């Protein structure tokens, strides 16, 4: 039955695409977010992958989701709860209904709500018929049958036809949000340039979904979200992993060095290796090693001979790399170690996000092994902090750990592409050619040793895992010398604080009642919660950290100005524990979550209001 649509103008809308892991929800969500970004909206995304490679079809464990938050203002999170849920089967509805706003819109494929699929999802009755979801705006569409009808003359096999039904759902949402289908049509022309039949089939189904929504008026709600007023420039939608890869490439170019990445694939870090492997045109060398240990050891070798060297991993892989991390610290070679954190311990939750590698990054090595630790906080600024981590490594001649996480790695947002001329200079601490080179002579300001490239005349030297004599680099077992070298390595890292930016505060620079403290990928949710609380008249501010070791020089001064400090992180309190060792004079409240999911703005606000 036809009905008139109600047009709602909103500043922002959250939509979640959900279905079986084979239903193409990641592609559907990515196309919707790319199209919205081209329209001019600010965008933030949250892909939610099942942990099993191929869970039983139709089960809750096999549900794959992709959440998109679009708006006319600055968007910092993918949203807490969805205004619209597209559910391609009963399991998708079961797994995601709790993340939909009351009175939100549910678009479901009624053809998938068979007795067998309902049983697999754990339903005892059909939710489309038992009045259990009457508080939502239910839009029931025969997506499977309509897809088959659209492709009845295509000569495609049944499996290929059904694989296109996600495009019918995408077409519906494009009409619902007044989005053009042209970008996705161009995407198909490029992706399937060698398979024109497949390209045409997907375009036909996309158009069929769009026309269905337009002609039948099945959707009672029609959203209008205006383009965002953002800084002019050239943008692209970028994930955290791609931004990390590009930040490393930009750093290599600025430093005048080749980039080498030696890594072993691991979820959710593998895409960085993939992205770098595509860039042979930019003189990037990538090596997929046989294991994590080989990955970092090849990177150390590449650093020794003068490359900007990188190794990428996630938590279990970082554990395997720890001995070689110590070698890089002892040899004092520049190296960037990217840890894309995930749920642990052990294999844990490989597709879910967490911040539980912080103490491993700070202390997870034998001996006194100080290492700078930097953390990105948005998908886009993974570029910036990959660049900054490389700058620290090359100018202070030290290994550096860059922490991101699964939420940042797979999430995406519009990114203003910078001009290379606007990026800061990177000046590697390469030893000047000449006689009399001493491998552990140091810059008096930074205490960095000078990096000598093998084959350079007059710079023959040895470095390695055994303790070295100060200045000369000869192997040394002298107790007093070990104390000197241990102190020098520690002080070198501490002095990096002189070269990083001071910590900023969102809110009251001069102090106040509550300071919310966070680090890494929780930034968007903490910022949004604090912004909303301030709009409600609450005296709350935010200090979000990107530099962990060393901390910015003004950290203690900031903390001293607030009555209460609450540290919010996706672990059981690792940053709070670290802060207690660095500044024990302050009392730290904690808010912790370890669920494989990011914070919601609502739960942060509730915790802060309790204080």
Give 232's pLDDT tier (boundaries 50, 70, 90): confident
At 483-499, the pLDDT tens digits run 999 999 999 999 999 99
Of the pLDDT bands very low, low, confident and very high (cuts 50, 70, 90), residue 123 is very high
Please state which CATH number belongs to domain 6-220: 3.40.920.10
The CATH code of the domain at 238-422 is 3.40.50.970
At 336, list the tokens: 């960037």
């200090």: which residue's tokens?
Answer: 543
- For residue 526, give every residue at least 6 positions away whose Cβ sits within 8 Å of its Cβ, in sequence order, or none: 516, 518, 542, 544, 568, 599, 604
- The secondary element (H helix, E strand) that includes residue 575 is helix 574-582
pLDDT of residue 2: 43
- Give residue 207's pLDDT: 96
| The pLDDT value given to residue 5 | 60
pLDDT band at residue 208, thresholds of 50, 70 and 90? very high
Within 10 A of 497 (CB to CB), how many other CB atoms are there? 17
Dist. CA 169–CA 68, nearest whole Å: 15
Predicted confidence (pLDDT) per residue in 353-404, tens digit:
999 999 999 999 999 999 999 999 999 999 999 999 999 999 999 999 999 9
3-state SS of 19-77?
A: EECCCCHHHHHHHHHHHHHHHCCEEEEEEECCCCCCCCCCCHHHEEEEEEEEECCCCCC
SS3 143: helix
In this prediction the pTM is 0.94
Q: Quick one: 484 exposed, middle or buried, by C-beta within 10 A (0-12, 13-18, 19+)?
A: middle
Q: 512-610, what's its fold?
A: Rossmann fold (3.40.50)
Q: Within the chain, which residue ranges are assigned CATH 3.40.50.970? A: 238-422
Q: Are strands 100-109 and 588-592 parallel, antiparallel or unpaired?
A: unpaired
Q: Using one digit for the tens of pLDDT, what is the confidence trace for 141-185?
A: 999 999 999 999 888 888 889 999 999 999 999 999 999 999 999
All residues at 6 or more sequence positions from 376 whose CB lies less than 8 Å from its CB, including other chains = 240, 244, 382, 384, 385, 386, 402, 403, 404, 408, 520, 521, 546
Rg of the chain over all Cα atoms, to the nearest angstrom = 26
Residue 216 pLDDT greater than 80, yes or no: no
Cα–Cα distance for residue pair 354/352, rounded to 1 Å? 7
DSSP H or E stretch at residue 285: strand 284-288
Which DSSP string do the residues of 406-461 spell out, in sequence order? HHHHH-EEEEEPPPGGGSPP----BPPSSS---TB-B-TTT-PBPBPPTT-TT---
Place of tokens 């770098």: 276
Residue 4 confidence (pLDDT): 56
Cβ neighbours of 83 (radius 10 Å): 21
The pLDDT tens digits for 37-73 are 999 999 999 999 887 767 788 899 899 999 999 999 9
The mean predicted confidence, pLDDT, of the chain is 94
What pLDDT was estimated at residue 294?
A: 98
Q: Following DSSP, what letter does each residue of 157-208 receive, concatenated?
A: -HHHHHTTHHHHHHHHHHHHTT--SHHHHHHHHHHTTT-HHHHHHHHHHHHH
**Tens digit of each residue's pLDDT (9 = 90 or more) over 264-310:** 999 999 999 999 999 999 999 999 999 999 999 999 999 999 999 99
For residue 195, CA distances in Å to 148, 200, 202, 290 come to 19, 9, 11, 35
Mean of pLDDT values over 580-593: 98
**In the chain, ranges of CATH 3.40.920.10 domains:** 6-220
Summarize pLDDT for 3-28 with one digit per residue, the tens: 456 778 889 999 999 999 888 999 99
Share of the chain above pLDDT 70, in %: 98
Per-residue pLDDT tens over the stretch 519-547: 999 999 999 999 999 999 999 999 999 99
The backbone torsions φ and ψ at residue 221, rounded to the nearest 5 degrees and listed phi first, read -120, 135
Domain with CATH 3.40.50.920 in the chain: 512-610
Q: What's the residue count for the chain? A: 611
Supply 460's token pair: 């023959």
Residue 538: is it exposed, middle or buried by C-beta count within 10 angstroms (0-12/13-18/19+)?
Answer: middle
pLDDT at 217: 62
- C-alpha angle 540-544-549 in degrees, rounded to nearest 5: 140
């Amino acid at each position: 039955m036809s009905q008139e649509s109600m047009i709602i103008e909103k500043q922002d809308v959250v939509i979640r695409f959900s279905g079986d892991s084979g239903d193409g929800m990641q592609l559907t969500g990515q196309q919707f977010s790319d199209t919205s970004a081209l329209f001019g909206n600010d965008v933030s995304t949250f892909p939610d992958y099942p942990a099993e490679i191929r869970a039983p079809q139709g089960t809750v464990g096999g549900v794959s989701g992709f959440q998109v938050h679009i708006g006319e203002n600055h968007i910092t999170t993918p949203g807490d709860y969805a205004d619209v849920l597209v559910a391609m089967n009963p399991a998708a509805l079961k797994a995601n209904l709790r993340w939909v706003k009351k009175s939100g819109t549910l678009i479901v494929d009624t053809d998938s709500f068979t007795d067998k699929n309902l049983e697999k999802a754990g339903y005892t009755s059909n939710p489309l018929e038992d009045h259990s979801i009457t508080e939502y705006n239910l839009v029931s569409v025969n997506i499977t049958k309509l897809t088959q009808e659209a492709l009845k003359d295509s000569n495609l096999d049944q499996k290929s036809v059904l694989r296109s039904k996600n495009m019918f759902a995408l077409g519906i949402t494009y009409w619902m949000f007044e989005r053009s289908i042209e970008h996705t049509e161009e995407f198909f022309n490029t992706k399937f340039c060698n398979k024109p039949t497949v390209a045409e089939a997907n375009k036909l189904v996309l158009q069929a979904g769009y026309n269905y929504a337009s002609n039948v008026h099945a959707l009672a709600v029609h959203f209008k979200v205006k383009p965002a007023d953002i800084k002019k420039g050239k943008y692209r939608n970028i994930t955290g992993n791609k931004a990390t890869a590009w930040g490393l490439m930009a750093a290599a170019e600025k430093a005048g060095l080749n980039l080498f990445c030696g890594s072993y694939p691991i979820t959710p870090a593998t895409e960085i290796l993939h992205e770098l492997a595509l860039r042979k045109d930019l003189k990037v060398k990538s090596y997929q090693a046989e294991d994590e240990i080989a990955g970092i050891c090849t990177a150390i070798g590449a650093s020794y001979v003068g490359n900007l060297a990188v190794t990428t991993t996630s938590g279990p892989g970082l554990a395997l790399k720890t001995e070689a991390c110590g070698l890089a610290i002892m040899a004092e070679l520049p190296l960037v170690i990217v840890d894309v954190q995930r749920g642990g311990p052990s294999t844990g939750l490989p597709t879910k996000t967490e911040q539980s590698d912080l103490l491993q990054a700070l202390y997870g090595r034998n001996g006194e092994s100080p290492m700078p630790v930097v953390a990105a906080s948005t998908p886009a600024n993974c570029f910036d902090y990959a660049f900054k981590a490389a700058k620290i490594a090359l100018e202070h001649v030290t290994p550096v750990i860059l922490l991101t996480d699964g939420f940042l790695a797979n999430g995406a947002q519009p990114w203003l592409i910078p001009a290379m001329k606007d990026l800061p200079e990177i000046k590697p601490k390469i030893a000047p050619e000449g006689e009399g080179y001493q491998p552990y002579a140091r810059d008096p300001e930074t205490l960095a040793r000078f990096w000598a490239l093998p084959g350079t005349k007059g710079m023959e030297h040895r470095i390695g895992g055994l303790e070295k004599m100060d200045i000369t680099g000869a192997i040394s077992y002298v107790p007093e010398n070990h104390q000197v070298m241990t102190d020098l390595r520690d002080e070198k890292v501490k002095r990096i604080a002189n070269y990083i930016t001071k910590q900023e505060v969102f809110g009251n620079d001069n102090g106040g009642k509550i300071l919310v403290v966070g680090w890494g990928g929780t930034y968007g949710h903490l910022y949004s919660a604090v912004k909303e609380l301030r709009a409600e008249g609450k005296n709350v501010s935010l200090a979000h950290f990107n530099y962990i070791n060393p901390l910015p020089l003004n950290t203690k001064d900031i903390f001293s100005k607030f009555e209460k400090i609450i540290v919010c992180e996706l672990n059981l309190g690792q940053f709070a524990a670290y802060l207690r060792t660095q500044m024990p004079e302050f009392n730290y409240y904690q808010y912790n979550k370890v669920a494989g999911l990011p914070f919601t703005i609502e739960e942060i606000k509730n915790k802060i209001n309790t204080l």
